[in-house]
Structure 1
């Protein structure tokens, strides 16, 4: 992922936070069918002194999990909400005339090797962790054990797990850092007035 130094996100905690906040990643790999890109929710696992890895699952017939894919290089892209930035929102830019439409977003690119996992206990623990990560802040969190046990067993038989041992992480925050504080405050104000919920989310990401 191309990124100029100003926009690079290098703090591991900030990178991990973005990955956990937006776990639905675009997973790209070369499969038997050719280049494939799939949206899959991924669980970030960090261990003290150990490797950082991603855990996921898909249907057993999924191209990503077919024979020959063990050890394949994959790319996972995590992306925050994004929003169009109108040149009219720039305060200082209006005076300079150096204006162009833009797009604000944050993203993380994770590269690593795929490893398929066939283990019922692993799959149940992964599904539980993935669910808890999204339900934890709710007043009445839904837990995996709330589902009928027979249904869970049946669903688990149709799924297969995988892990990605991360070799390289790249983070990027393209949130108008090159603009003045007055411009960024103006962007926050205008984004907050947009009809799109994504624009409101981006407004909260921009640092004045």
Structure 2
């Protein structure tokens, strides 16, 4: 009986030795590698997260600045384009107004030329002075035509309040209804706008 108790104790010690290795005993290579990888992952994970988190925040800030600057640039370009178009339109309008004002002051000179030449007899028209005045008149009219000035057609055409100014009315069977019977003063246009309306007599 004492012998059996003595033999049981060493067996228990053997089991404990097998389950728990001693301090000097080496671990299995695969187990040691797995533990090493896990520890390394735990150490790297916070740094990696912090690094990428910081980088992402920095990138978003730059993107916001780029978008803001791009938007401001587009707005400024649009404002500049609108300003340029508006300025060109204003310049064109100012030029039109100035040109019409100058032409309007020249028209009485043409009227006086035409009145003076109309009073000449056939014999007087052959005089060198009259021929010289006629050439000056034609040159003046040609210069205005080159600038875009042209006379408004009136006599024999239907009355149009956009181009004609009716100052007299006459009943005449030779003309149709609402037709210009006589032009009392010639009207002129500069490009597409009227500088001076034709002063006319309207029939029927």
Give the structure-2-normalised TM-score: 0.19
Q: Which has the higher contact order (CA 8 A, sep 6+)?
A: 1
Give the structure-1-normalised TM-score: 0.19
Q: Which has the higher helix share?
A: 2
Question: Rg bigger for which structure?
Answer: 2
